[in-house]
Amino acid sequence: MAGAVERPLRADAQRNRDKILAAAVRVFSEEGLDAHFERIAKEAGVGSGTLYRNFPTREALIEAAYRNEVARLCDAVPDLLAALPPGEALRAWTRRFIDYATAKFGMADALRAVVASGTNPYAGSRDMIQAALSSLMEAGTAAGEIRSDIRPTDMFAALAGIALTSAQPEQREQAERLLDLTLDGLRPAARRTTTGAAGRAGEN
């Protein structure tokens, strides 16, 4: 007999699930493995029973919360490209990447506990993020806003380096400056020269 097809959640149930996952990220980031389900439920504005029905174990909740952060980051790409020029879409997405990295590092202890239990919460996440970044960079290259000699893997490595050194909440200003520096280096030479000349003219 074939396995049952998982039915999509009702709209209200999906909203509750989304609120639980967002609250879990905040609470696990603040309290680590000592976080209580009751506080997460309260933060999410749901009953403890609703939380346990969705996530019967701590490990299931931690993994789902992390995977939801990855999905939110990657799912933002089509909307950004629809609303903004490719270069601006990439700029906006890099800020979301730092938000994701901040959440990931905040949950580091909790995620390590999931790994220790025999589950890999990171499975597939790198490929998903790399694919999202590739879509943004391909659009930027096609529009002439991004250099064609920079690979998405190069940009991913740069973002990972910024996240590694500057993803703590108190380091956000530094992260923003490093992102701007990196994105400036992606522009074709003619665009960088024009931008720089315009900036200097405005200073005189």
Give ∠ CA 168-14-5 in degrees, rounded to 5. Answer: 115
pLDDT digits (tens, 9 = 90+) for 115-135: 999 999 999 999 999 999 999
pLDDT of 76 higher than 70: yes
Other C-beta atoms within 10 Å of 171: how many? 15
| Distance between CA atoms of residues 83 and 156, nearest Å | 23
Q: Among candidates 116, 101, 96, which has minimal Cα distance to 162?
A: 101
CATH of 63-203 given 3.20.20.140, 1.10.357.10, 2.60.40.10, 2.40.170.20: 1.10.357.10
Q: Contact 194/148 with Cβ under 8 angstroms?
A: no
Structure tokens at 166: 């500057």
Q: Where are the domains of the chain?
A: 9-56, 63-203
Q: How confident is the model at residue 46 (pLDDT cuts 50, 70, 90)?
A: very high
Structure confidence at residue 192 (pLDDT): 54
Length of the chain: 204
Q: Contact 93/77 with Cβ under 8 angstroms?
A: yes
| Distance between CA atoms of residues 130 and 152, nearest Å | 7
- Please name the fold of domain 9-56: Arc Repressor Mutant, subunit A (1.10.10)
